[in-house]
Structure 1
Amino acid sequence: MIDFENMRGSGEFKKHALPYLLGATRRFFGGSVKFDHNPINSIKHQYGIDILENERRGVYIVNSTCAIVLGRVLEGKTVVAAFSLQITNTTFTGLERLLNVFEGVLAITLSHSVKDKFSLKPHQFGDELLELTISKFFSRGRYDYRKFKQLVELFHKLANTKFEGRNFTTGLVLTRSFYAYANKRDHTRGGALLPLKEARKLSPIDPIDKRFWYLADGQTSYFLANPSLEIASAFLANSSRQALISFVDDYTLSKTIKGGDALFRVTSQSEYSITGSEGIEFNFKEGQWRIRSLTQIANLIRSTLNVKEDFIQSLLYYVFYLARRRLSSIIWIPLDAQKFDDLLLSKNSLTTAPFSLLDERHTQTLVRLLSSDGASIFNTDGALLSYGSVIDISKVTINGVKGTGESVASILAKNGLSVKISQDGTIKMFSAKLTNPIVI
């Protein structure tokens, strides 16, 4: 194996394809990505890892926030050259298998591009690479990845489809375990199966039947497809809605999506997601793919604030509710509730007794308070301390082109945890424990 720099065509790759690869990798995993075309000596010098010892290995997880993915060029089973992607400032806990699938897809794509000196179809190293990774991540040993890719393309279209002039949500579960959904063999999936009068086979040839897809809301009702992409039933989840006390389980359908199942759903305009039983969600929003894990996000909230489970579930409920409805908001939970006044120019309260994140009766009023201009501040027991709070921006340094709201949220997080929800639905969670925010 030689360094990629010494391989014929490497210059063309760096010129045309590398920008696609770096952009897609950065968006997908988050954090920072560094490309190295001479990895053999540099990785050994920096991390003490000799990649020549096992040329069949393509991924090295240095720690929970740093991983090295090799871009290996193969001739048969022989590795002829490699570059490295060092991904840092993000979290890889629970993503080990995904990293290996990503590396395998990258190796295949690189190896097929050798004859063209890596210059033909450079876009295949962008979103095409990510969608092939997602398809193979779910499909290995379960489905034909080409069928899975067909569903990815279908839901991309559905997310941008309107019925009677309006965008709509919808959903589908892909499974090999029909008997479990039918409550057979002592299995249950937390809902009821309703056979359709007529089964239909999904095909890329057919136009989208908007009226059909509109009938499943992707929140309580879903169509059920087998590996051949035949839909013969609808599935109605027992949970009537996502609740405060069980938001994470309700959102991920943890009682329903098991084993090799995959949950596809359009969640809002131009946004859709794919979730598996491991709780990892692949979310397509604002024209780009991101990975997010509600379990990982819950762990960050728990470790930062040392709060109870009902607080975590309720906070995430409001964060996702606001994001889906494109309501801008800043939420701050200070660890030291006695030391937040210094940053405030104003404090507001509506009632003498505070509203609470944990009380179902307060939900609709809280949504309106949280979406008002300014920051909403809660203590760690869920009580609303202030809403529409004006922050003293003279104490905020704005770096680069990020907005004032994001800069404010990063400052607030020095005492506890803050969340910035943008009008485009993007969620950024800031914590003193993180160098960069988590983009959700």
Structure 2
Amino acid sequence: MENFRNHKRSKEFDIFCKPYLLSSVEQLFDCEIEYCDQPISKIQKDYGIDLLSNPKRGTYIHSASEVTIIGRVLEDKSSKYAMSLTLKNGEFSSIDRLLNVFEAALSLTLSRSHKFGFADRPSQFGQELIELFIAKYYSKGFFDHRRFLLLMELFKKLATTSFEGRNFTTGLIITKSHYAYAEKGENYRGGKLYELNSPRVLDQINMLDKRLWYLSDGQSSFFVCNKQLEMRNCFVLDDSTINPDDFNKKHLLSETLLGADALLRVTSENELSIVGASGIEFNYKENRWRIRDLRQISKIIKETLNVTDAFVQALLYYVFYLSKRRFSSIIWIPTDLSDIDSYLMTKNNLTNDRFSILDMNHKSTLLRLFSSDGASVININGDVISFGSVIDISKASINGVKGTGESVSTLLGENGMSVKISQDGKISLFGVNGKGKIII
């Protein structure tokens, strides 16, 4: 195995392909990337790892926040050239197995493009690579990844489709266990399976019937297909209400998706997600993919603020509600209440008694309060201290092209944690230990 720099067309790759690769990987994992085309000496020097002793190994986990992925050019199943991507300041503790699938997809793409001197379609190292990786991840050992790619293409189209002038949400479960959804053999998946009057086979010709897809909402009802993409059933949950006290369970359908099951759904305009039994979710928004593990995110919030599980679930409920409906909002959870007046220029309360995010009776009112202009302030017990607050921007340092909202959120993150929801639906956490910002 040689360093990739020795490849006679490595300059072609650097100019045309590498920008696609680094951009898509950085966005997917929300991390910093160190690229190296001479990894044999570099990895030995930095980590004491001899790549030549195990040329078939593709991933090395250095810590929960730093990993190295070896991209290999394969010929006759042997590693001929190698490059490395060291991902830093990310969150990899819960997705270590998934990284092996990504490395395999990267090496497959490198090996194919190598045959053409890296002169064919540089874009295959961008979103095409990410989608190949996602399809391989969900299909491994159960489905044909090419069929899964077709479903991903379908749902990207559905996310931009309207019915009678309105965008809509929808969902599809792909499974090899129809019998379990039909409650056979003492199985129960949290709902009931109904047979469609007119079954469909999803293929390139017969797949974008928006009148049909509109009938599944992707929250309480889902179409169901098998690995041949034969769609014969609709599955309806017995209880689809998502409440602040069980957000993760209902959002991830943890009682429904088991084994090799995967759910594809349009969650809002121009946004879709894919989730499986592991709970790891791939979110597609603004023409880019991002991976998120809500269970790990919940753990990070809990440890950063030293709050209860109930608090975390309630916070995520409100944050995701605002995100899906494209409400711009800033929510601040300070850990030192004695210092908050130095940040706030105004404080607003609707009632003398405080509302709580832990009380489901308050959720309708709180959703409206949190979508008002200004920042909402919540203490670590879940009580809303203020809403629509004006922040003293003079304390914030604005660097580069960072907007006012991000500058304010960064400032507030110095005391506890702040959550910023943008009008495009992007969710950012500020104040997490060791990180300037986490995008979820």
- Taking structure 2 as the reference length, what is the TM-score of the superposition? 0.99
| C-alpha distance in 2 between matches for 1:103 and 1:404 | 38
When residues 244 and 26 of structure 1 are mapped into structure 2, their CA distance, relative to the original with a 3 A threshold, is same
Q: Which amino acid aligns with 1:309?
A: D
Shift of 1:48: 1.5
| C-alpha distance in 2 between matches for 1:415 and 1:119 | 50
Shift of 1:207: 5.4
Contact 1:31 1:436 in 2 (8 A): no
Task: Report percent identity of matched pairs.
Answer: 51
| C-alpha distance in 1 between matches for 2:426 and 2:220 | 24
Shift of 1:121: 0.7
SS of alignment partner, residue 52 of structure 1: helix
| C-alpha distance in 1 between matches for 2:436 and 2:295 | 19
What residue in structure 2 maps to residue 66 of structure 1?
Answer: 66
| C-alpha distance in 2 between matches for 1:159 and 1:66 | 33
What residue in structure 2 maps to residue 14 of structure 1?
Answer: 14
Moved more, 169-178 or 303-312: 303-312
Q: Which amino acid aligns with 1:146?
A: R
Moved more, 186-195 or 197-206: 197-206
| C-alpha distance in 1 between matches for 2:305 and 2:157 | 40
Are 2:96 and 1:96 aligned?
Answer: yes
What residue in structure 2 maps to residue 242 of structure 1?
Answer: 242
Residues 398-413 of structure 1 mapped to structure 2, 5 A cutoff: 398-413=398-413
Q: Which amino acid aligns with 2:360?
A: E
Unaligned runs of 5+ in 1: none
What residue in structure 2 maps to residue 266 of structure 1?
Answer: 266
Are 2:226 and 1:226 aligned?
Answer: yes
Write out per-residue CA displacement over residues 52-84 of structure 1, whole angstroms, 9 at most, x where no aligned residue: 110000111110000101111111121111111
Residues 142-157 of structure 1 mapped to structure 2, 5 A cutoff: 142-157=142-157
What residue in structure 1 maps to residue 78 of structure 2?
Answer: 78
Write out per-residue CA displacement over residues 14-51 of structure 1, whole angstroms, 9 at most, x where no aligned residue: 00000000010001011111111111111111111111
Shift of 1:391: 1.1
Moved more, 65-74 or 332-341: 332-341
| C-alpha distance in 2 between matches for 1:43 and 1:199 | 54
Q: Which amino acid aligns with 1:75?
A: E
| C-alpha distance in 2 between matches for 1:146 and 1:75 | 23
Residues 1-400 of structure 1 mapped to structure 2, 5 A cutoff: 1-206=1-206, 208-400=208-400
SS of alignment partner, residue 339 of structure 1: helix
Write out per-residue CA displacement over residues 189-237 of structure 1, whole angstroms, 9 at most, x where no aligned residue: 0111111112111111225111100000000000011101111110011
Shift of 1:377: 0.4
| C-alpha distance in 2 between matches for 1:240 and 1:206 | 29
Contact 1:66 1:89 in 2 (8 A): yes
Moved more, 160-169 or 336-345: 336-345
Q: Which amino acid aligns with 2:287?
A: G
Q: Which amino acid aligns with 1:324?
A: K
Contact 2:300 2:432 in 1 (8 A): no
| C-alpha distance in 2 between matches for 1:211 and 1:387 | 41
SS of alignment partner, residue 138 of structure 1: helix
Contact 1:414 1:432 in 2 (8 A): no
Moved more, 7-16 or 357-366: 357-366
- Taking structure 1 as the reference length, what is the TM-score of the superposition? 0.99
| C-alpha distance in 1 between matches for 2:92 and 2:390 | 36
Contact 1:174 1:225 in 2 (8 A): yes
Moved more, 10-19 or 364-373: 364-373
| C-alpha distance in 1 between matches for 2:207 and 2:256 | 29
Contact 2:169 2:268 in 1 (8 A): yes
Write out per-residue CA displacement over residues 146-171 of structure 1, whole angstroms, 9 at most, x where no aligned residue: 11111000001100110001000000
What residue in structure 1 maps to residue 438 of structure 2?
Answer: 438
| C-alpha distance in 1 between matches for 2:407 and 2:306 | 24
Shift of 1:389: 1.1
Contact 2:3 2:82 in 1 (8 A): yes
| C-alpha distance in 2 between matches for 1:436 and 1:210 | 42
Contact 2:356 2:382 in 1 (8 A): yes
Write out per-residue CA displacement over residues 128-179 of structure 1, whole angstroms, 9 at most, x where no aligned residue: 0000000000101000111111100000110011000100000010000111
Shift of 1:243: 1.1
SS of alignment partner, residue 394 of structure 1: helix
Contact 1:89 1:436 in 2 (8 A): no
| C-alpha distance in 2 between matches for 1:42 and 1:409 | 37
| C-alpha distance in 1 between matches for 2:31 and 2:172 | 31
| C-alpha distance in 1 between matches for 2:135 and 2:432 | 35
Contact 1:142 1:260 in 2 (8 A): yes
Shift of 1:401: 1.2
Moved more, 221-230 or 40-49: 40-49
| C-alpha distance in 2 between matches for 1:387 and 1:4 | 55
Q: Which amino acid aligns with 1:162?
A: S
Between the two proteins, the alignment pairs up a number of residues equal to 440
| C-alpha distance in 1 between matches for 2:306 and 2:239 | 28
Unaligned runs of 5+ in 2: none
Moved more, 233-242 or 223-232: 233-242
Shift of 1:338: 1.9
Shift of 1:330: 0.4
| C-alpha distance in 2 between matches for 1:425 and 1:151 | 23
SS of alignment partner, residue 80 of structure 2: strand
Write out per-residue CA displacement over residues 232-271 of structure 1, whole angstroms, 9 at most, x where no aligned residue: 1100112232111111100000000111000110000010
Question: Hey, which bits of structure 1, 4+ residues long, moved more than 2 A?
Answer: none
Q: Which amino acid aligns with 1:173?
A: I
